[in-house]
Amino acid sequence: MEEEKSSPPSDLTSESSLEHTDHDSNKATPLKKIDVLLKATGDAPIMRKKKWAVEGDKRVGWVADFIRKYLKLNSSDNLFLYVNQSFAPAPDQLVRNLYQCFGSDGKLVLHYCRTQAWG
Amino acid sequence: MACLTYEEFVTGCRVLLQVSKELGDSWVMCHSASDSSTIYLSKTQCFKADLSTSISELTAEKSESPDEIDKLIEDFTQEPEPPDPSSVSNSTPGYIITYEYHIVYSLSHSVPALYFNAWYASGKLLTLKEVWERVSNQFCEQIADNKWNSLTQTEHPVLGRPFFQLHPCRTAELMSNVCCESEQTPKDVKKYLISWLSMFGPVVGLEVPITYYNK
């Protein structure tokens, strides 16, 4: 896999990081990107690049699909995304809403695990 | 392994009921006819038959397969077309399916288990095959890969009637990964059931709004 450099245009990322230090992001425009930190739990593979800037109007399902592609998972492999160590958001939930509810220190931490859930 | 004792399960149920009442949701507590100390939670919900496809429209991958992950972030534009109210739908007319969900304590696994039944407006129960087909898109391949071990019909432990069940065998393992930061950190009993429901409910159409967790 190639070496990742900071990916999105740096002016957009740094601008969004500065403006996300407070939680008053009701003023967030749809294009404002949110710093998302992806953390592995259990025996899930750890992503080499963990911190991503994601547009607020992207949905959780998009982030899940992205992690699947990054980790080269099959669609039959289990992947659970959750926030605050406990709650699995719906796939159609906006990243912006998750950040407003669960974000801290200017970022949203999303955990993912690959545990088989049923059976 | 993050298991629950029956007393912890009852505590979790009371918390979930309280939150449900505050949010105007419809969970109720039911008692066994033969033993009033045995409880389970129940909720009934109706769906239009095309509910699962609306989720697939929102999460479906439409971008070209990327060679670089970074390019994916920049170029991924997945916006479903806004619905045109003047367009005529040529799909089959929607029909209503009623789901009744039960949260029951599994004695053999010491975890909650999700049971449910589903029927058409005529009263006809869905078959197992139809239930498998209605699993939401996010999970359908995972279930299909192992369906006879994941989602089958079995006897309801309290009511004694056939109900569909998401197998609870791996629940403790999943919850220990999710809820417990380490072996030493005790699980939060009050949040356990809501966390568990947010993982298992969506598989069979039971969405848990984000407001449950804010309470």
In a domain, A68, yes or no: yes
Q: Which of residues 4-63 of B touch A (CB under 8 A)?
A: 55, 58-59, 61
Q: A63 to chain B: nearest residue by CA?
A: B59
- Interface probe with A: pick from B188, B210, B211, most Cβ of A within 10 Å: B210
Q: Which of residues 27-86 of A touch B (CB under 8 A)?
A: 41-42, 52-54, 59, 61-62, 64-66, 69-70, 74-78, 80, 82-86
pLDDT, tens only, A45-104: 999 999 999 999 999 999 999 999 999 998 888 898 999 878 899 988 999 999 999 998
In a domain, A5, yes or no: no
| Residue recorded with tokens 């958001």 | A89
pLDDT of A43 strictly over 70? yes
Secondary structure element (H or E) that encloses residue B154, with its range: strand B151-155
For chain B, domain boundaries = 6-205
Please indicate whether residue B179 is annotated as part of the active site.
Answer: no
Tell me the pLDDT of chain B (215 aa) as tens digits.
789 999 999 999 999 999 999 999 999 999 999 888 999 999 999 998 864 443 344 444 444 444 555 566 665 555 566 777 777 665 556 789 999 999 999 999 999 999 999 999 999 999 999 999 999 888 888 888 888 889 999 999 999 999 999 999 999 999 988 876 555 566 688 889 999 999 999 999 999 998 998 76
Point out the catalytic residue in the list B3, B46, B169, B179.
Answer: B169
ipTM score of the complex?
Answer: 0.72
In Å, how far is A18's CA from the nearest CA of chain B?
21
Q: Do A85 and B151 touch (CB under 8 A)?
A: no
Cβ-Cβ contacts under 8 Å for A76 (sequence gap 6 or more): B141, B142, B144, B145
- Interface probe with A: pick from B55, B56, B64, B69, most Cβ of A within 10 Å: B69
Number of domains in chain A: 1
Residue A5: per-residue pLDDT? 44
In a domain, A94, yes or no: yes
Cβ-Cβ contacts under 8 Å for B25 (sequence gap 6 or more): B19, B43
Residue A15: per-residue pLDDT? 38
CATH code of the domain containing A42: 3.10.20.90
Residue A26: per-residue pLDDT? 45
- Count CB atoms within 10 A of the CB of residue B185: 10
* pTM exceeding the 0.80 threshold for the entire prediction: no
Amino acid making up residue B156: H
Contacts of A94 in chain B (CB under 8 A): none
A106 phi and psi angles, rounded to 5 deg = 75, 15
In a domain, A86, yes or no: yes
Domain holding A103, by residue range, is 30-113
The alpha carbon of A68 is separated from its chain's Cα centroid by a whole number of angstroms, namely 12
Q: Do B150 and A119 touch (CB under 8 A)?
A: yes
| Residue recorded with tokens 């409880």 | B39
Q: B147 to chain A: nearest residue by CA?
A: A119
In a domain, A16, yes or no: no
